[in-house]
């Protein structure tokens, strides 16, 4: 996704448009923000946070 500072680990993200099984509020276990080549990106891994992950 394009960069979004509102996305934080241990929060949740509302997903829509992926059918009943995959849509809804999902826990954001890990979030990585990058600025590379003039593009800001946010990567999200869904599920519980990994042990030792910065929250």
pLDDT tens string 6-42: 877 778 889 899 898 889 998 888 889 899 899 999 8
CA-closest candidate to residue 3, choices 39, 29, 38, 49: 39
Helix, strand, or coil (residue 41): strand
> What is the structure's pLDDT at 47?
83
Whether the pLDDT of residue 55 is over 60: the answer is no
Whether the per-residue pLDDT at 52 is higher than 90: the answer is no
pLDDT surpasses 90 at 46: no
């Amino acid at each position: 996704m394009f960069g979004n500072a509102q996305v934080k680990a241990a929060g949740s993200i509302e997903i829509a448009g992926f059918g009943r099984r995959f849509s809804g509020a999902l826990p954001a276990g890990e979030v990585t923000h990058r600025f590379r080549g003039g593009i800001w990106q946010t990567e999200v891994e869904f599920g519980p946070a990994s042990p030792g992950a910065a929250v």
